[in-house]
């Protein structure tokens, strides 16, 4: 088994190394990949010192699986080349997500969409992953009609520059900016770029990806994306309207039985999910579970996950593990 990691020097690349160190997947050769300027650098994976190579060199090595975390441009150019060599490409960018022939996968929900022919597999957007994972079994049981979601997204979702801007501002340093306004002591209702309809690209992803993963094009999704001064972990305030009535006890039961979901919901003891306690963990945490009495079959949830873990690296490694076992 030859496993390639494209974008090894980025935030997600660093997190991929941590997740792979925890994974039991058998790998005989790790192939770390970055741009030409990083060629020859050494990275430590599972105690082995590995030399960083370029995408062209890695492609020639014919890896079995390649995890891409280097942005859409790199994925657009190189994912098809790797796939042509028989490699399964798991892509973290938005490049391939909405292509009909390419599976968009959260393994706990729709790993069955992966076949021997689907050489390129898209990893969903971080905010989408935690949302659909928490809602998947509830949708099966009660049928989701509408979702209203407001996100509270970490600066790490923007990459190294987003974290640097926050840390610079806290240190009083006038450095390079990832955002058009200060982020420290502030909230920006702005994720991605604005579209003609007034929504942002990040909000559009929540709409389209949710429908694709849940195989439910009829679900109505109303999103608002907000960037907050947190370094690790996305939070979501979610209001769901179901097609059918539900009992709150059944909601707790279904959430508790959903693989990858941990219920943290005891307000009397001040227990609820927070990015601070979710950071570095692979689970998606759900709390503040309560009926919305303003609408028939309404439910409110608070969903939190580490966006670099389940929102990116963990989900990608789980897909790789599934491919290694089943394809």
CB environment 112-150: b (16+ within 10 A), e (fewer): eebeeebbbbbbbbbbbbbbbbbbbbbbeebbbbbbbbe
- Among the listed residues 50, 87, 139, 234, the single catalytic one is 234
- Among the listed residues 50, 59, 126, 139, the single catalytic one is 126
| Tokens representing residue 25 in the block | 């997947």
CB 178 within 8 A of CB 166: no
Identify whether 126 is a catalytic site residue: yes
Backbone dihedral angles phi then psi of residue 211, each to the nearest 5 degrees: -65, -40
User: DSSP assignment of 185-253, as one string?
Assistant: T--BS--S-B-TTS-BHHHHHHHHHHHHHTT-TT-EEEEEEEE-S-SS-EEEEEEEEESS---HHHHHH
Backbone dihedral angles phi then psi of residue 302, each to the nearest 5 degrees: -125, 120
CB 132 within 8 A of CB 312: no
Question: CA of 214: how far to CAs of 18, 38, 140, 156, in Å?
Answer: 29, 39, 9, 26
| Tokens representing residue 150 in the block | 């407001």
Catalytic residues, by residue number, are 126, 234
């Amino acid at each position: 088994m030859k496993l390639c990691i494209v974008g090894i020097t980025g935030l997600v690349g660093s997190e991929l190394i941590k997740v792979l160190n925890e994974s039991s997947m058998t790998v005989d050769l790790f192939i770390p990949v970055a741009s030409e300027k990083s060629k020859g650098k050494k990275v430590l994976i599972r105690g082995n010192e590995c030399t960083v190579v370029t995408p062209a060199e890695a492609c020639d090595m014919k890896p079995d699986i390649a995890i891409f975390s280097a942005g859409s441009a790199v994925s657009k150019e190189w994912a098809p080349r790797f796939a042509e060599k028989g490699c399964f490409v798991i892509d973290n960018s938005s490049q391939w997500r909405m292509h009909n022939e390419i599976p968009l996968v959260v393994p706990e929900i729709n790993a069955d969409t992966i076949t021997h022919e689907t050489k390129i597999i898209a990893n969903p957007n971080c905010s989408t992953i935690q949302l659909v994972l928490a809602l998947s079994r509830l949708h099966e049981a009660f049928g989701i009609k509408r979702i209203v979601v407001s996100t509270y997204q970490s600066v790490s979702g923007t990459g190294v520059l987003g974290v640097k801007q926050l840390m610079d501002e806290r240190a009083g340093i006038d450095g390079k900016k990832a955002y058009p306004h200060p982020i420290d002591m502030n909230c920006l209702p702005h994720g991605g770029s604005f579209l003609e309809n007034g929504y942002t690209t990040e909000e559009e992803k929540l709409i389209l990806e949710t429908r694709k993963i849940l195989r439910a094009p009829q679900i109505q999704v109303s999103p608002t994306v907000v960037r907050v001064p947190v370094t690790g972990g996305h939070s979501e305030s979610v209001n769901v309207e179901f097609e059918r009535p539900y009992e709150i006890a059944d909601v707790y039961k279904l959430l508790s039985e959903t693989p990858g979901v941990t219920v943290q919901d005891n307000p009397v003891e001040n227990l609820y999910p927070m990015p601070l306690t979710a950071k570095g963990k692979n689970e998606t945490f759900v709390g503040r579970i309560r009926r919305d009495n303003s609408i028939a079959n309404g439910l409110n949830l608070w969903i939190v996950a580490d966006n670099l873990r389940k929102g990116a690296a963990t989900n990608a490694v789980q897909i790789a593990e599934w491919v290694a076992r089943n394809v």
